[in-house]
Amino acid sequence: MKPVMALVGRPNVGKSTLFNRLTKSRDAIVADFAGLTRDRHYGNAKHGKHEFIVVDTGGFEPTAESGIYMEMAKQTRQAVAEADVVVFVVDARGGLSAQDHDIANYLRKLGKPTVLAANKAEGMTEGVQLSEFYELGLGEVHPVSAAHGQGIRSLVETAFEPLNLPDEEEEAGEVEAGVIKLAVAGRPNVGKSTLINTWLGEERLVAFDLPGTTRDAIAVPFERGGQKYELIDTAGLRRKGKVFEAIEKFSVVKTLQAIESANVVLLLLDATQGVTDQDAHIAGYILESGRAVVIAVNKWDAVDEYQREQLQRQIEARLAFLKFASLHLISAKKRQGLGPVWQSIAQAHKAAMTKMPTPVLTRLLQEAVQFQSPKRSGMFRPKLRYAHQGGMNPPVIVIHGNSLEHVTDAYKRFLEGRFRKEFNLIGTPLRIEMKTSK
């Protein structure tokens, strides 16, 4: 699972600026997706060999006792509790405040690996100006400038140093070939545990224990119709003996980790509730993670004709950015509509793992350009020369040429459509990267 970094600190020290800096530019994402909601507080980051989830905890009031502040404090504490490392941000220009001391006390008691970042330190010399922050008793002070991108790499290196992360290659070696890693994601009460228990109760589905795994292992391997799967224990779900149970506390961080470690995510919605903000956020994360996705609307048995129509319109509007995904209307409780979901999961996985040979990609690219060439932008006319595959799950297509920074989003969408059609990419995001030769 990806490690989690939580950013804490009083308001205005630059947490959200740092968050944006850390999570910036998964530049491969095609265009801007209409209707993509981003919860600004959670994001993926990649720096050097470190890939991690960043949580911006917003304001931090460790002593808040009521109302909205208490709610925020609760969420902050949960985020800190779930984090592998905490970055405590202070304001190098504003200096220390009483609140900084409160937060430092809280963090020291917690005993989590904590890194102290003195932000807004551009143009400052380390020694004198930063010495007061040693008072916080959290060890070394790391000068950074979130706004100017200074000191970030060293901050990340320091933060993850004690975690001793396994090399990516080692982890990849553990994945058994041909196994589809599946996560069922959705907010509380949409019916995740009901669905999973219905599945596991089916005769066609054979759950087995892998040697060496314990009863409360975080993944359940099973086989269905000759295909091997691994069901990833998702946020809010825990395996208890043979059945899955919903636990009371929903965790965004655990949802993100589950999504990140899956190949295919089944996004579960609740027909009786419509598409809520939280659903849209989870959907946004799935898209950002690049995982393949299948959407299932559960509790279809409990809504009437009118509600069904409303719902379908709502999905088209609010989840427009997942329109490449198959949509199923199901009832986990009444065991209706479940078979086709499996077909879509397999299809989405196949699409995510598609191999796209360079000659075919290049031919498609040239045909597309012939059919409709990219618009001139001022003095520049983008020249798209050839394409090759840059990755799987999600598939990445890298296009080489000249002046490619002038290719419009509309044109990228046009290309995406052509590639999707040719390779039958149903159920997976597709990323298109442009590489301009000098």
Residues at the interface with ligand GDP (CB under 6 A) = 9, 11-17, 119-120, 122, 145-148, 186, 188-194, 236, 246, 298-299, 301-302, 331-333
Please state, in angstroms and as integers, the Cα–Cα distance from residue 315 to each residue in 21, 34, 281, 322, 359, following that order: 32, 13, 13, 9, 37
Of 80 and 404, the one with the shorter C-beta distance to ligand GDP is: 80
Of 3 and 59, the one with the shorter C-beta distance to ligand GDP is: 59
Question: Shortest approach of ligand GDP to residue 279 CB, angstroms?
Answer: 12
Of 200 and 426, the one with the shorter C-beta distance to ligand GDP is: 200
Of 272 and 436, the one with the shorter C-beta distance to ligand GDP is: 272
Question: Shortest approach of ligand GDP to residue 334 CB, angstroms?
Answer: 6
- Pair 227, 212: CB distance under 8 Å: no
Does 13 show up as a binding residue in the annotation? yes
Does 9 show up as a binding residue in the annotation? yes
Please state, in angstroms and as integers, the Cα–Cα distance from residue 396 to each residue in 266, 425, 432, following that order: 21, 12, 6
Question: Shortest approach of ligand GDP to residue 265 CB, angstroms?
Answer: 14
Question: Shortest approach of ligand GDP to residue 15 CB, angstroms?
Answer: 3
Does 158 show up as a binding residue in the annotation? no
Of 194 and 428, the one with the shorter C-beta distance to ligand GDP is: 194
Of 78 and 298, the one with the shorter C-beta distance to ligand GDP is: 298
- What kind and span of H or E run contains 413? helix 409-423
Does 58 show up as a binding residue in the annotation? yes
Of 259 and 356, the one with the shorter C-beta distance to ligand GDP is: 259
Q: Coil, helix or strand for 275? A: coil
Does 191 show up as a binding residue in the annotation? yes
Question: Shortest approach of ligand GDP to residue 121 CB, angstroms?
Answer: 7
Does 188 show up as a binding residue in the annotation? yes
Does 277 show up as a binding residue in the annotation? no
Does 339 show up as a binding residue in the annotation? no
Contacts of 307 (CB under 8 A, 6+ apart): 271, 272
Nearest to 289 by CA among 23, 12, 47: 23
Does 226 show up as a binding residue in the annotation? no
If phi > 0 it is left, if psi is from -120 to 50 it is alpha, else beta; for residue 54 that is beta
- Pair 296, 267: CB distance under 8 Å: yes
Rounded to whole angstroms, how far apart are CA atoms 90 and 15? 9
Question: Shortest approach of ligand GDP to residue 88 CB, angstroms?
Answer: 11
| Overall size of the chain counted in residues | 438
Nearest to 258 by CA among 240, 235, 281, 285: 235
- Pair 317, 279: CB distance under 8 Å: no
Question: Shortest approach of ligand GDP to residue 250 CB, angstroms?
Answer: 8
Rounded to whole angstroms, how far apart are CA atoms 301 and 290? 31
Nearest to 37 by CA among 250, 264, 373, 275: 275
Binding-site residues: 9-16, 56-60, 119-122, 186-193, 233-237, 298-301
Binding-site residues for GTP: 9-16, 56-60, 119-122, 186-193, 233-237, 298-301
